[in-house]
Each structure stands twice: as structure tokens, then as C-alpha cells.
Amino acid sequence: MPSPLPIAPPRERFDVDITLPGSKSIALRQLMMSAMAAAPTTLDGIPRCDDIESMFGALVSMGNGVRREGKRATIEPGHLDGDIELDLGMSGVSLRFLIANAALRSTTTRITGHEQLHARPNQDLLDALERLGCLITSHDGRLPISITGPERPADRTSLRVGVTSQYLSGLLLSAPCFREGLTIELMDEQTSRSYISVTTDEMAKRGVQVRIDPGSVTVAPQTYTGGQHTIEGDASAATYHMAMATLHGGTVRISNLGESTRQGDYGFLGLCERMGARVERGPDSITISGPRELQPLEHVDMIDMPDAAQTVMAIAPFLPSPTHLEGLATLRVKECDRIACTATELRRAAVSVDEFPAAMTIHPIADGPRHATFSTYEDHRMAMALSVLASKTPGAAIADPGCVSKTYADYWEDFSLYA
């Protein structure tokens, strides 16, 4: 694949069928639960992406058996005594899940990864583990991190949940395996609530219930079931295709995501409707047809679908009035600073942007964006969102297009369907 990758404008009124990769978020949760289950688990619909490879490598290092064939994987629960080291590449979700899981091991778990992962914050989660009795070595909560679990973890801790929902999801996933269960007191305002709903929903599918009270959550000692489970399509990946249909007045049919999902980014469909798109929702499918004339969004709170925020940013320059996005605080601590970096790339295309600590206002561009080679900052979502912008920017290209492999290895093959 060339780098930079030229982006050709799509054909007029395209009509495209898309099968999404399996949800990375759901797959990582299911893999984590499979490692703690009472019996082997077979998962269908495993996406092909770097984050999943990092989790598979970690599960093997922890003593689990893994058999894979295409999009199917079978996990045999296992456990290695003694100290282990896990290299998690660039997978921030795997990092938080496995930090929490290390509290269940009375030996030492050392975690490292790509230099980009070393910049991701973890201190609030590590503080919660120390309250459970873990011994921790780190530099300001960043990698490399060493965690030695107690012989008998406490059954209660407290957790700050304002930075990322991944801290709470990680603790919830491992909580059923604590000898006395676990109660987590939530110390501040929870962000990205939709991802917690995904976590508790997937846990329920494996026979584990979570009790949610005002200011706390409790998980009693329980056992994850094994068996066969299917991973639905990735709603975050779907937003780029929804955006292409909306922006260009084309039609996209998605075959493996529908109304039954609990993924927060499914809510992006509602934003497309506000912009004038027509949407048909089925239990397991979507059809979206873009409008002849885009309608304004004006004000959008992205707190429950932060991974879709950059997709809105890519469409916003073509809307008839300024678009103000808020609820973006978590974007500052992703693979890159997704507020600052996206603002830089929009300005490269001559788009006017007002940047705030947790918000952004993007102004309409009157004469069309200036062609540019967009930087991606080793961030898969930068590349995919900027491809939407570039599709409306003649002569544009995407630098380092291969970074999409982190979550959507087949993205450019699917994107080529629009040409």
C-alpha cells in the first residue's frame, strides 16, 4: 500500500454493501471473560486487527490455550504460576483490562508495549488496585508497570472514572473471580457510559450479573460460562461508512449491525438523520441513504460515543452552519490528542476550528477544502476519519494508511468500494 495513499472521490450516488469487522470492544471483553470461564469458549466474528493480536498474545503468555481459524477462535482457560511479562503493543483497552486482571495473580505481572502505549494514563486504576492490596511499580501510572497481587484481595475499592470507562470495565470483568466478589465505589462523574453498558451486557451473556447502585457497583463471586458466542459488527467502524453515505448522498447497507446492539456508537445514526439522511433499522442490519442537501447539526454532545467524534469532525466543514462538539475530554488521552491533532489537520485543509479543553467548534468552509496530505499520528481513527474528509477534498492523501490495522485491517479494501 502506498504512503501517502491518494484518496479518489467516490462515484456519484454509490450503492454499497458492507460487512463490518467484528466489534473490537466486544471481542476484547469476550476474550477476557473466556480466559476466566469454567469451560472452553468458541468465538465467531473475531476481527482481524492489531489490538486483538495483542490480547491473544497476552492470553497465551498467561497460560491459556488458543486455537484460531479465520474469524473463529477457541480459548481453553489456563493459568501459569510464576511471574509473567505481557507486551500489549498499542492496545489501550487490553492494557486496562489486564492491569485489573493482574490483581487476581499473587505473582508479578509486568506489562509493557509500544512507546505510544507508554503515554497512556493508568494511575487511577492502579490506585484502585493498591486499595485491593496489590503492590505496584510504575512511573506516574505509565508503562512499564509491575503488579503483584495479594494472596487475598480486598472485596471493596474506590475508583475515579472521569478519565476513561476502561478502568471500570476492567475491574468489572475480573470482579466475579475475586474470592469475596467486589464492590467499587465510583469517586467522580462517569464518562463514556455506553461502554459500561456494553461490558455489563456481555457479562450477562456469560452468566454474570452486576448490581448497579447510586455511586457504586457490586459483583458477587460468580463463574463465566463457556460455549459458543458470536461477535456483532463494530459500530465505531460503521460510523465511517455512515458518514460516507450521508456526506455524498449515496446508499450503504450494513449486514451485521442493528437495533439489538448496545454499542454507543450506534447512536451516530441519529446524527446522520439530523443531517438529513434516511435510515432503515433492522434487528441486525442498517440501510442509510444520504440527503441531497446536508442539514446542520449545530450542537452535539459526544460524551457517550467519543470514538465517533472524529467522524463528526470530518463531516462538519461541509455543513451549512458551525458545529460545536462537546464531551470530548477523553479524546485528549487516546492514541494521540484527538482534539489538537484533528484541529491541526482540519486547518491544513483551510478549515476554521476553535479548540477548547474538552470541546471544539468547526466552521463551514465556503470554497471547498484545500487539498493536503493528512498526517495520522499513528492513530487508526485519525486515518479513517480523515479519509471521509479527504473523499470531499480533491487531490488529498492519507499518510501512513497502514495504521488502520490497529482495529480495522481491511478498511482500505472496504473504502475502495466507493470509487
Instruction: Give me 91's grid cell.
Output: 492496545
Buried b (16+ CB within 10 A) or exposed e, 119-136: ebbbebbbbbbeebebeb
Query: Omega of the bond prior to 144 within 30 degrees of 0, cis?
Result: yes
Determine the angle formed by the axes of helices 380-390 and 235-248, rounding to 10 degrees: 10
Active-site residue, selected from the candidate residues 50, 124, 265, 307: 307
Q: Does residue 127 carry a catalytic annotation?
A: no
C-alpha cell at 3: 504512503
Q: Bridge-partner residues for 106, per DSSP? A: none
CA angle 358, 339, 291 (to 5 degrees): 100
- Which residues are paired to 252 by β-bridges? 16, 288
Contact 35, 64 (CB under 8 A): yes
Beta bridge partners of 137: 146
Phi, psi of 44, deg, nearest 5: -105, 145
Distance between CA 204 and CA 199 in Å, rounded? 9
Residues taking part in catalysis: 307
